[in-house]
Structure 1
């Protein structure tokens, strides 16, 4: 499996969120677990631009898609 082009922390920075390890853990803890019937991009805590970015990256299978999948899994745990 290829290594992702970007790091998990870079995804948070791209979303305009604090990207240090403690902030990422706090974000995941405070927004988990995400309901199984809710798409990641449709979660109520995203801004419109964050949701659009997440949808676009997944639909286009773009550079960030693998990390978006990782975020999705982390929020479902």
Structure 2
């Protein structure tokens, strides 16, 4: 697992095993959305391991937390 202090959205997508170039991220954001009060970690489009990573990042207030929050906001637009 990557343990650097500052992570980008590209880093997060790579960590989640998703395409991490800008075009792949844009495609993901265009095809996946969160509605209303839907929790990021409960979205049906995550695998179990992706869901666990995101949950752990938020629960532990890890160095991934900021970029996970950024992804949450982006999935609501």
Task: Say whether the fold is shared (TM-score over 0.5).
Answer: yes
Question: CA RMSD of the aligned region, Å?
Answer: 1.0
In the superposition, the TM-score normalised over structure 1's length comes to 0.91
Q: How many residues of Structure 1 are paired with residues of Structure 2 in the alignment?
A: 73
Partners of 1:45 and 1:16 in 2: CA distance: 13
How far apart in 2 are the matches of 1:70 and 1:37? 16
Residue in 2 that maps onto 1:60 = 60
Unaligned runs of 5+ in 1: none
Gaps of 5+ in 2: none
Partner of 1:5: 6
Cα distance in 2, alignment partners of residues 67 and 36 from structure 1: 20
- Partners of 1:11 and 1:54 in 2: how far apart? 10
Larger helix percent: 1
- Using the size of structure 2 for normalisation, the TM-score is 0.91
